[in-house]
Amino acid sequence: MSSKQIIQVINPNTSLAMTETIGAAARAVAAENTEIIAVCPAQGVPSIEGHFDEAIAAIGVLEQIKAGREQGVSGHVIACFGDPGLLAARELAQGPVVGIAEAAMHMATLVATRFSIVTTLPRTLIIARHLLQQYGFEHHCAALHAIDLPVLALEDGSGKAQEKVRQRCIQSIREDGCGAIVLGCGGMADLAQELTRELGVPVIDGVTAAVKMVESLLALGLSTSKHGDLDYPIRKKLSGQFERLN
């Protein structure tokens, strides 16, 4: 267990500032023998706020998974709350891959009977809804809320978005009948611990949760099953811009 291991934390958008935030949050919880490499695609979208953005981001995720695998990283985190490209990434990866939305939701069900989600733009709520359904956590979600600010407002230095998140968490705890809050954006990774302390309820960030889940899988000797649905992609000639993924 104390052998060195690398976890690659992939920010699926191209924002370096957010990659920084995410990397720092990941490092803050990583085990001593875990090295965190925080990366983002060279090409893609600066922020992810819809299905179109997600489709583009998924390619960046796959390119990073491939690069990470070639570098010999032990496991991967997809650090965007929609978990873009998750099942594709699992096919491509040798090690475990965990998305931050699933990680946060799993953790939330362990500490509360029902949780609420606080995210950025209203149009991203449908992505969270679909994930709740796909992961099986619909009954564990009390409510979903959007602060109605874009993702990058979290990086503008004003703290305004952070304050709206905080207010929305406080209101949710009072009104939703939930016992925990899931933060619905990788860019909120640095808020969780402080809000947990201030509000006295678990406020859960997926980036840190996912790092611990990958570490757990590694410690258990568990990796993505290569039997059946998530087996390596069938080799076929990828053309053009996708040659990189061959």
Stretch 138-157 residues interacting with a second copy (CB under 8 A): 138-140, 150
Q: Which of 64, 109, 119, 120 binds a second copy (CB under 8 A)?
A: 109
User: Residue 13: CB partners within 8 Å, gap ≥ 6?
Assistant: 40, 41, 44, 45, 46, 47, 48, 53, 57, 60, 80, 151
Is 208 one of the binding residues for a second copy (CB under 8 A)? yes
Q: Which is nearer to a second copy, 4 or 197 (CB)?
A: 197
> What phi, psi does 51 have (nearest 5°)?
-70, -35
Task: Kindly tell me which residue out of 39, 80, 153, 180 binds a second copy, with binding defined by CB under 8 A.
Answer: 180
Complex with a second copy: residue 45 or 154, whichever CB lies closer: 45
User: What phi, psi does 178 have (nearest 5°)?
Assistant: -100, 160
DSSP 6: E
d(CA 106, CA 109) in angstroms, rounded, equals 5
Minimal distance, residue 170 CB to a second copy, in Å: 12
- The answer to whether residues 114 and 179 touch, using CB atoms and an 8 Å cutoff, is yes
Binding to a second copy by CB under 8 A, coded x per residue (else -) over 213-242, reads x-xxx-xxxxxxxxxxxxx-xx-xxxxxxx
Beta bridge partners of 182: 117, 204
Cβ atoms 101, 123 nearer than 8 A: no
Containing 210, the helix (H) or strand (E) segment is: helix 206-219
Q: Which of 9, 26, 45, 182 binds a second copy (CB under 8 A)?
A: 45
Rg (CA), the chain: 17
As measured in angstroms, the least distance from the Cβ of 55 to a second copy is 4
What minimum distance in Å lies between the beta carbon of 175 and a second copy? 12
The terminus-to-terminus CA distance of the chain in angstroms comes to: 33
Taking CB under 8 A as the criterion, which residues in 74-93 touch a second copy? 85, 87-88, 90-92
Residues of span 46-75 touching a second copy by CB under 8 A:
46-47, 49-56, 58-59, 62
Q: How far is the CB of 86 from a second copy (least distance, A)?
A: 8
Q: Which stretch of DSSP H or E encloses residue 204?
A: strand 203-204
- Could you tell me which residues come within 8 angstroms of residue 179 by beta carbon, excluding any fewer than 6 positions away? 111, 112, 113, 114, 115, 201, 202
Assess 110 for contact with a second copy (CB under 8 A): yes
How many residues touch a second copy under the rule CB under 8 A: the total is 98
Question: Toward a second copy, which CB reaches closer, 38 or 78?
Answer: 78
The verdict on 136 binding a second copy (CB under 8 A) reads yes
Nearest distance, CB of residue 180 and a second copy, angstroms: 5
The reply on whether position 206 binds a second copy by CB under 8 A is no
Of 16, 71, 72, 111, the one binding a second copy (CB under 8 A) is 111
